[in-house]
């Protein structure tokens, strides 16, 4: 009989109910302070879900404008729409959109 790994519910709950989310934030101009936007975006995510693990990248778009790409783990029962709306409230943000959501 093959060996089977048995997980206690406390260990299994660490892995269930998580999703990986990738959101793109567009600043309103090339002169926008990306580091300030990144810091505020990270604070916003952590205010909604304190356990989020966040990776932040800058992606060149055109004419000196860079998008901010946030990739993070998220509790999959939370709405990414609510997060996008909160991110749009950050100063110097023109838009935010979910690029990818993997459960």
| Domains, the chain, with CATH or none | 18-102 (3.30.70.60)
Tens digits of residue pLDDT in 27-81: 999 999 999 999 999 999 888 876 777 899 999 999 999 999 999 887 777 777 8
pTM: 0.77
Q: Which of 69, 60, 52, 65 is nearest to 92 (CA)?
A: 65
What is the distance between the alpha carbons of residues 88 and 15, in angstroms, rounded to a whole number?
Answer: 30
Q: Contact at 8 Å (CB) between 89 and 40?
A: no
């Amino acid at each position: 009989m093959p060996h089977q790994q048995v997980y206690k519910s406390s260990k299994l709950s660490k892995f269930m109910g998580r999703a990986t989310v990738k959101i793109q934030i567009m600043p309103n101009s090339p002169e926008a302070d990306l580091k300030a936007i990144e810091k505020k975006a990270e604070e916003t995510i952590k205010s909604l879900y304190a356990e989020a693990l966040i990776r932040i990248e800058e992606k060149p778009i055109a004419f000196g404008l860079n998008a901010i790409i946030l990739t993070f783990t998220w509790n999959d029962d939370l709405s990414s729409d609510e997060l996008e709306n909160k991110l749009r409230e950050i100063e110097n943000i023109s838009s935010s959109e979910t690029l990818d959501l993997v459960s």
